[in-house]
Amino acid sequence: MESTPTSDPALLEKVTNLAKRRGFIFQSAEIYGGFRSTYDYGPLGVNMLRNVKQAWWRTMVQGRTDVVGLDAAILGPPAVWAASGHLETFTDPLVDCKKCKERWREDKIDGVCPNCGSTEFTEPRAFNLMFKTQAGPVEGDGATAYLRPETAQGMFTNFANVLATTRKRPPFGIAQIGKSFRNEITPQNFVFRTREFEQMEMEYFVAPVEADEWYRYWVQARYDWYLDLGIPEQSLRLHEHAPEDLSHYSRATTDVEFAFPWGWDELEGIANRGDYDLTQHSNASGTKLEYFDQATGERYTPYVIEPAAGATRAMMAFLLAAYHEDVVEGESRTVLRLDWRLAPHQVAVLPLSKKPELESVSREVLAALQPHFMCDYDVTQSIGRRYRRQDEVGTPYCVTVDFDTLEDRAVTVRDRDTTAQVRVAIDDLLTTIRTRSGTS
């Protein structure tokens, strides 16, 4: 008996509960009653979120010669956001319910107040989603700063720096992972839409004539990334935006969508931004952001293809897709079938008992594995219950150290998905786990 993301309406609650109970994601400032729409990533969640970001970095930067990394500032001056268009257009339509006074994003409520059912609202007004703050001890316009609502602008404002220091030439990309902030009117669905979140964005600069080809390339590459990390094909689809739905900067956009429990929704957007950003920043800053091709003698403003993903949103999709309930040896269990690369712990070392004679060999096994894998070490409760606990948080392999280990210097390796167990010599353990997980 298996559940899928599309067929189980209770899935969101099950995953939210599991995330809290097992230390993936906590409500922020919970001891003070919580702070709406902000979350803290606990001991398992921080590992998994890092793994999501690491998987992205490996694919988008480490595995390529045409993409370099960047880590730009979160705080930015108004000039950046004026040039990017965010000061003027990064708004959502805000309405007040005339009856209960709750505020809503007009395009998300289907004409009925989700709080009291009233259909009477104020006229929509444009609400800017950027968080505004003061930099330094002086108040006033000169000190105004904004928390970035996307990581993308750092790549555009550093275009000339990167070009000069790396000697890259189009087609090439600049990639960044980091926090972004949006004062969302209706944050919702756990970490799907929050006011503070993490993005994984790449700006790929190309010759204008090649833009469409590279756009199609990145749409496919980004779709394949989610498939490769374990999102089933039936839970993933591409949705190309109609021309009237495009953002102010976009010539074409395709979303990678996931079958969330509430329906299809965006995981990532891939946009052809044309020369909008470099032209805007060139005009506003007075610094020419162009490329001069010495071979052809041609000077041009590159077009930008942008795959823009959410790290926290992707983590949520990976959790939802991995969640399964099945029956093993007559007992029901919850198992997170997370890809090996995303699991918070790859291996758990489990001494069969707390007896001291098992401790030293167990520590020896742990020490052999820790430089290579994120490991858990658990001596509490019965071995059956410990297996269930590891299944529930997606640990692909449990390594059990028992009294025979003292004689034969071998351990039992249990596979999370099949629950099959094999006896492996300690000396062969590293190679065995590497081979089985496909990382050798």
Can you give the binding site for ligand GAP, defined by CB under 6 A?
150, 152, 182, 184, 193-194, 197, 199, 201, 266-269, 306, 308-310, 312-313
Cα 56 from Cα 222, distance rounded (Å): 10
* Residue 168 structure tokens: 């890259």
Cα 212 from Cα 216, distance rounded (Å): 6
Mapped onto helix, strand or coil, the DSSP state of residue 389 is helix
Minimum CB distance to ligand GAP smaller for 50 or for 436: 50
Minimal distance in Å, beta carbon 251 to ligand GAP?
Answer: 14
Minimal distance in Å, beta carbon 61 to ligand GAP?
Answer: 17
Cα 410 from Cα 383, distance rounded (Å): 17
State the CB neighbour count (10 A cutoff) for residue 96. 17
Minimal distance in Å, beta carbon 179 to ligand GAP?
Answer: 11
Minimum CB distance to ligand GAP smaller for 92 or for 106: 92
Minimal distance in Å, beta carbon 270 to ligand GAP?
Answer: 10
First to last CA, the chain: 33
Minimal distance in Å, beta carbon 207 to ligand GAP?
Answer: 21
The C-alpha R_g of the chain, in whole angstroms, comes to 25
Minimum CB distance to ligand GAP smaller for 199 or for 346: 199
* Residue 153 structure tokens: 């602008």
Minimum CB distance to ligand GAP smaller for 197 or for 303: 197
Minimum CB distance to ligand GAP smaller for 131 or for 217: 131
Instruction: Name the nearest CA neighbour of 337 among 314, 315, 321.
Output: 321
Minimum CB distance to ligand GAP smaller for 310 or for 396: 310
CA distances, 349 to each of 24, 27, 355, 386, 402 (Å): 20, 30, 15, 10, 11
* Residue 169 structure tokens: 């030439």
Cα 202 from Cα 383, distance rounded (Å): 45
Minimal distance in Å, beta carbon 152 to ligand GAP?
Answer: 4
Minimal distance in Å, beta carbon 291 to ligand GAP?
Answer: 21
Minimal distance in Å, beta carbon 308 to ligand GAP?
Answer: 4
Minimum CB distance to ligand GAP smaller for 313 or for 414: 313
Which residue's C-beta sits nearest to ligand GAP?
310
**β strands within 144-262, DSSP E:** 144-147, 172-181, 196-206, 236-240, 252-260
Cα 241 from Cα 222, distance rounded (Å): 16
Minimal distance in Å, beta carbon 317 to ligand GAP?
Answer: 9
Minimum CB distance to ligand GAP smaller for 309 or for 411: 309
Cα 154 to chain center, whole Å?
19
Minimum CB distance to ligand GAP smaller for 188 or for 439: 188
Cα 238 from Cα 258, distance rounded (Å): 9
Helices first, then strands: H and E counts in the chain:
13, 24
* Residue 200 structure tokens: 């994984």
